[in-house]
Amino acid sequence: MTPAHVASRLHGLDRRLLPTTLRLRAVAIITLVLALTVGSTNLFFVLRGGEGTAVAIDDVLADFRSESAAAPVRDLGAVMPAAAPEVAGATEEPALGEAAPAAPVDTSAPVAEPTVAEPAATTQPDPSEQPAAPAAPAPAETVAPSPTAEPAPAAPTLTFPDTGVYTFDTTGGEAISTPGGARSYPEETYGIVRKAPGCGWTLELRLLEQHREETTFCLEGPRVGVTQYETDVEFYGAAEHQIFVCDNDNHGDLTQAPGDVTQGGCQGDEVTTSGTATYVRREMMTVGGVQVETMMYRFETKIEGRVQGTASQNVWVDTTRGFPVRIERKSTSRTSSFGAGVTYTEDATFAVRSLTPAG
């Protein structure tokens, strides 16, 4: 997870939503006046314009299963050696453990009579020429065994999380500073884990039908980093897709000690993020009734460019898989255009319900 999602959302709003926002502010004032005389239906519509739609678990599972079914299957015939062509008159090699077949016998040739050899004369050995008895062997030297060195402990390493659909218990939501711009996340949101080429795997979060974000991670021995972050966010029918490329930012390192700090950053379209990741402590957490050891990290991020703001996150990372078990994030950012400004805020918590995915 990376706070680049904050800049991504506002950058899209800056380009596509602001003209709509200005119109909506005017419409809200006019509608409020009309509502005093003709009712509140139109006002209700305006104030609900940014509301999100919950994602159905069946739809997420169907997407994951269809992707899995469409994955290419390796053709073993393409890598197996072809059988050698048969040659006329060639004899078949015996199988392992079988005797080779006997050569054919020519019965037309005459058979020679067997000959009996005369016994050879034997001679008695001369006692004076008997060899001397061998000398007794010298006692073997006793060699003390050399001490063996203790094997070095295996370096800690992370393994890939299981692919499938994960459920997150969710609180909080997001808002923009326009009429009806606040919306809550549903109590259950979903994440899809997929394997990516090389060291990578991805976590796609489906927070709302109007809010999707995907993070690409890279596992390198004891370390998990973030290499890319992308979002699809929609407010008032204005949708925007953004991609941020990151410096393989540290998202968890089994070799770190509490208090260790690493730097990182991401680059988007006219927006950059930079910040720190501080390893706080090891902590046991209960996930699906199972005790899981985690590393707690605190991320502090500054957003610059067309979007200005800050973001902070507390993330608990599973020490076996590098998977974010719990995420607490807060952010405030602002962008302006055409003399108007839009502020985006988020305050939300995501806790995975089980580390055994569906799918």
Q: Which of 338, 342, 337, 317 is nearest to 328 (CA)?
A: 317
- Phi first, then psi, for residue 304 (nearest 5°) are -135, 160
Give the pair of three-digit tokens for residue 164.
């499938």
| Burial (CB count <10 Å: 0-12, 13-18, 19+), residue 60 | buried
pLDDT tens sequence across 192-224: 999 999 999 999 999 999 999 999 999 999 999
Give the pair of three-digit tokens for residue 64.
């994951």
Whether residue 242 contacts residue 230, with contact meaning beta carbons closer than 8 Å, is answered with yes
Which residue type is seen at 173?
G
Sign of torsion, CA 32 34 36 40?
Answer: negative
Give the confidence band of 5 by pLDDT, cuts at 50, 70, 90. Answer: low
- Is 280's pLDDT higher than 70? yes
DSSP state string for 146-215: PPPPPPPPPPP---PPPPEEEEEEEEEEEEESSTT-EEEPPSEEEEEEEE-STTEEEEEEEEETTEEEEE
- Is 169's pLDDT higher than 70? yes
pLDDT of residue 84: 44
pLDDT tens sequence across 9-64: 655 555 554 444 333 333 332 222 222 222 323 333 333 446 899 999 999 999 99
pLDDT of residue 32: 25
Least confident window among 114-123, 165-174, 186-195, 293-302: 114-123
Whether residue 334 contacts residue 344, with contact meaning beta carbons closer than 8 Å, is answered with yes
Q: Which of 271, 284, 221, 270 is nearest to 250 (CA)?
A: 221
pLDDT tens sequence across 121-153: 555 555 555 555 555 555 555 555 555 666 666
Paired with 230 in beta bridges are 214, 243
Percent of the residues in the chain that have a pLDDT greater than 90, as a whole number: 55
pLDDT of residue 230: 96
Half-sphere exposure of residue 108, counting CA atoms within 13 Å on the CB side?
Answer: 0
Percent of the residues in the chain that have a pLDDT greater than 70, as a whole number: 62
Buried b (16+ CB within 10 A) or exposed e, 103-118: eeeeeeeeeeeeeeee
Whether residue 338 contacts residue 15, with contact meaning beta carbons closer than 8 Å, is answered with no
Give the pair of three-digit tokens for residue 73.
């299957």
Least confident window among 31-45, 171-185, 226-240, 282-296: 31-45
Whether residue 254 contacts residue 156, with contact meaning beta carbons closer than 8 Å, is answered with yes
pTM of the model: 0.69
